[in-house]
Amino acid sequence: MSLRIAIEPPDEGDLDVIHAVLAETYWSPGVPRDVVARACAGSLCAIARDVSGAQETLAGFARVVSDRATFAWLCDVFVLPQFQHRGVARDLVHALQAHPGLQGLRRWLLATRDAHGVYAPLGFVPLAAPERWMEIAVLAPYGRSRG
């Protein structure tokens, strides 16, 4: 397996795979494809591709929502099962952290239920003052509740 990580918008075929995966995740169950496409269009996306075969295959994805001056929110990170446990998620996040447009930011955030071990080596830590943070959480924006 040979992987290539690129910061680029997903193409239509990528969007089909990204949507299929995200629609089954605990954080965006049932998300419509057009919402995924709009989210990607408004974000900086990192895509991991397996380039070892005759045709490149999507292996993983991550995106950042940012003002590119002070703040970045890392989200929608996933690696397809056949590519997991090879450091692909860390490579995707590292590529985003190294992007020239995301340097000198005051804060990076993410939310995860079960992948703290992936993000800790990249510098992510629990919130220092969680009591300062508030949210509006819409529990079933796409008709299915979150887990």
- Domain annotation covers residue 96: yes
Tell me what pLDDT residue 146 has: 64
Q: Are strands 71-79 and 57-66 parallel, antiparallel or unpaired?
A: antiparallel
Q: Is residue 121 part of a domain?
A: yes
Q: Is residue 27 part of a domain?
A: yes
How many domains are there within the chain? 1
Would you state the pLDDT for residue 36? 98
Q: How far apart are CA 144 and CA 45, in angstroms?
A: 25
Q: 47 near 10, Cβ under 8 Å?
A: yes
Predicted confidence (pLDDT) per residue in 50-61, tens digit: 998 778 899 999
Nearest in space to 138 (alpha carbons), one of 11, 58, 35: 35
| pLDDT digits 0-9 by tens, 76-94 | 999 999 999 999 999 999 9
Residue 134 gets which letter from DSSP?
Answer: -
Q: Smallest Cα–Cα separation from 63: which of 46, 48, 79?
A: 46
Tell me if the pTM is above 0.85: yes
- Domain hosting residue 78, numbered range: 3-132
Cα separation, 91 vs 83, in Å, equals 12
pLDDT tens for residues 14-46? 999 999 999 999 999 999 999 999 999 999 999
CA atoms in the 13 A half-sphere facing the CB of 138: 8
CATH of the domain at 54: 3.40.630.30
Distance CA 95, CA 89 (A): 10
- Assess if residue 146 is contained within a domain: no
Q: Is residue 138 part of a domain?
A: no
Q: Which residue has the higher pLDDT, 69 or 55?
A: 69
Q: For the sheet containing 57-66, what is the strand order?
A: 3-7, 44-50, 57-66, 71-79, 107-109
Task: State yes or no: pLDDT of 75 exceeds 90.
Answer: yes
Asked, for residue 114, whether it belongs to a domain, the answer is yes
Query: Domain for residue 142, yes or no?
Result: no
